[in-house]
Amino acid sequence: MIKKKMRAAVFEGNGVLNIKEVDTPVVEKGTDVLVKVEMCSICGTDVHIMAVPPGYIAEPGTILGHELVGKVVAVGSEVKSLRVGDRVVTNPNDYCGVCAYCQKNLPNLCENIIPMGIGANGGFAEYVKVSEKVAHKISHDVPPEIAAFAEPLACAVHASSRIPVNPADSVLVFGAGPIGLLFVQLMKARGANPIIVSEPTPLRREFALKCGADYVIDPLHEDLPAFVAAKTRIGVDFAIDVVGSQIWEGVKAVRKGGSVLLFGFNAKAKPVVEQHQITNREVSVIGTWLANDAFPKAVKILENGILDLRFLITHTLPLEKTKEAIEILRKGEGVKIMIDLSL
């Protein structure tokens, strides 16, 4: 039976997050899908939303959380691909399907996108309502804490598709948070060598090595350009900025003809870039945004156990400790933190 009221972590502005009892969402549109949340993980976006001042703006009164897995408990009259009892992960960025970018099959760039946990209620709740088109079936055999990786993994898979990393290509990853560590594993699976990770936090440097990085460096106390030169002679083939502020460091680190992939988002970062270094060294600078069409691939990776993700989970906490979980991540004292809605 679906409860009329549910527990939820509601963002109320200026760093305030309260656990409240709110109305359970109900199916209204024919394409609505109601999901009972099993697990929802903390994202760096949640950390930015809760910062004072915020690094990412969410609507006050919104339930946070968007990296979730759950079971379908109700569907609208027009839903065809899902039924009650199915297990799903969700693309948290509901796209309109009709704008110029959606018509170009670029839903991640939709002009009318509605982001879950920012502009629509999210997964730090017992139930969440989503559109059929953003719900993707996943096997019941995948543990919930692994299935909850679907959204960040889909974003990393889409981003990885934008750079042609081949076996023995060298890669530098800036940042060893959860996304950076996913990139390390994905690059390792492609045969990249060496993989260098730049990360100031000791705990995350340890995890980078566990994920398969060949070298890790503390950029606050070591000379990154000198290190890269010593290991590659001419610079890395690819640099991936997961931080959102390392474009210039990436440009300096890659070889002539190399590529810099910009994944991290930091609206406050204003790095100075010497454009001629891009021009006369033929460096490619590539942006990437959200997951686009990568969710089916991410689901397949999770269902087949291609990546080792379980050890990335450092904490599993109940909904009532969501704010505490966000603070743990902010302090760099955790890697992947799960909110278990069954606790």
**pLDDT tens, residue by residue, 129-177:** 999 999 999 999 999 999 999 999 999 999 999 999 999 999 999 999 9
What pLDDT is stored for residue 55 in this prediction?
87
Question: Do residues 218 and 279 share a domain?
Answer: yes
What pLDDT is stored for residue 5 in this prediction?
98
Q: Which of 287, 306, 323 is the last residue of a domain?
A: 287
CB of 35 within 8 A of CB of 70? yes
Question: Do residues 175 and 146 share a domain?
Answer: no
Q: What is the pLDDT of residues 227-259, one digit of tens each?
A: 999 999 999 999 999 999 999 999 999 999 999
d(CA 100, CA 139): 34
Question: Do residues 233 and 332 share a domain?
Answer: no
DSSP string, 164-221: ---TT--EEEE--SHHHHHHHHHHHHTT-SSEEEE-S-HHHHHHHHHTT-SEEE-TTT
Question: Do residues 180 and 150 share a domain?
Answer: no
What percentage of the chain reaches a pLDDT higher than 90? 97
Question: Do residues 227 and 241 share a domain?
Answer: yes
d(CA 238, CA 236): 5
Question: Does position 212 have pLDDT exceeding 90, yes or no?
Answer: yes
Question: Do residues 168 and 283 share a domain?
Answer: yes
d(CA 180, CA 212): 12
pLDDT averaged over the chain?
Answer: 97
Mean pLDDT of 93-115: 97
Band of pLDDT at residue 268, cut at 50, 70 and 90: confident
Bridge partners, 18 (sequence order) = 10
What pLDDT is stored for residue 90 in this prediction?
98
Both tokens of 68, joined, read 């979730």
Question: Do residues 37 and 175 share a domain?
Answer: no
Nearest to 149 by CA among 294, 280, 259: 294
How long is the chain? Answer: 343
- Count of domains in the chain? 2
Reduced to 3 DSSP states, what percent helix, strand and coil does the chain have, rounded to the nearest 5?
30, 30, 45
Within 8 A by CB and 6+ apart from 276, the residues are: none
Could you tell me the CATH number of the domain that includes residue 205? 3.40.50.720
Question: Do residues 131 and 37 share a domain?
Answer: yes
Question: Do residues 321 and 202 share a domain?
Answer: no
- Enter the DSSP assignment of 120: B
What pLDDT is stored for residue 101 in this prediction?
98
What pLDDT is stored for residue 267 in this prediction?
85
**Top-confidence range, 19-23, 51-55, 270-274:** 19-23
Q: For tokens 């991540």, what's the residue?
A: 329
Nearest to 216 by CA among 229, 231, 232, 197: 197
d(CA 43, CA 66): 8
Q: For tokens 């919930």, what's the residue?
A: 144
CB of 73 within 8 A of CB of 84? yes
Q: Which of 270, 287, 304 is the last residue of a domain?
A: 287
How many other β-carbons are positioned within 10 Å of the β-carbon of residue 112? Answer: 12
Question: Do residues 93 and 127 share a domain?
Answer: yes
CB of 69 within 8 A of CB of 138? yes
Question: Does position 223 have pLDDT exceeding 90, yes or no?
Answer: yes
Could you tell me the CATH number of the domain that includes residue 129? 3.90.180.10
Question: Do residues 150 and 16 share a domain?
Answer: yes
d(CA 109, CA 95): 9
Question: Does position 1 have pLDDT exceeding 90, yes or no?
Answer: no
Bridge partners, 30 (sequence order) = none
Range from 23-27, 76-80, 163-167, 265-269 carrying the lowest mean pLDDT: 265-269
Nearest to 2 by CA among 52, 72, 89: 72
Write b or e for each residue in 146-180: b if 16 or more Cβ atoms lie within 10 A of its Cβ, otherwise e: bbbbbbbbbbbbbbbeebebeeebbbbbbbbbbbb
Question: Do residues 67 and 215 share a domain?
Answer: no
- Enter the DSSP assignment of 125: B
CB of 317 within 8 A of CB of 339? yes
| Domain region containing 80 | 5-154+291-340
Q: What is the pLDDT of residues 46-98, one digit of tens each?
A: 999 999 999 889 999 999 999 999 999 999 999 999 999 999 999 999 999 99
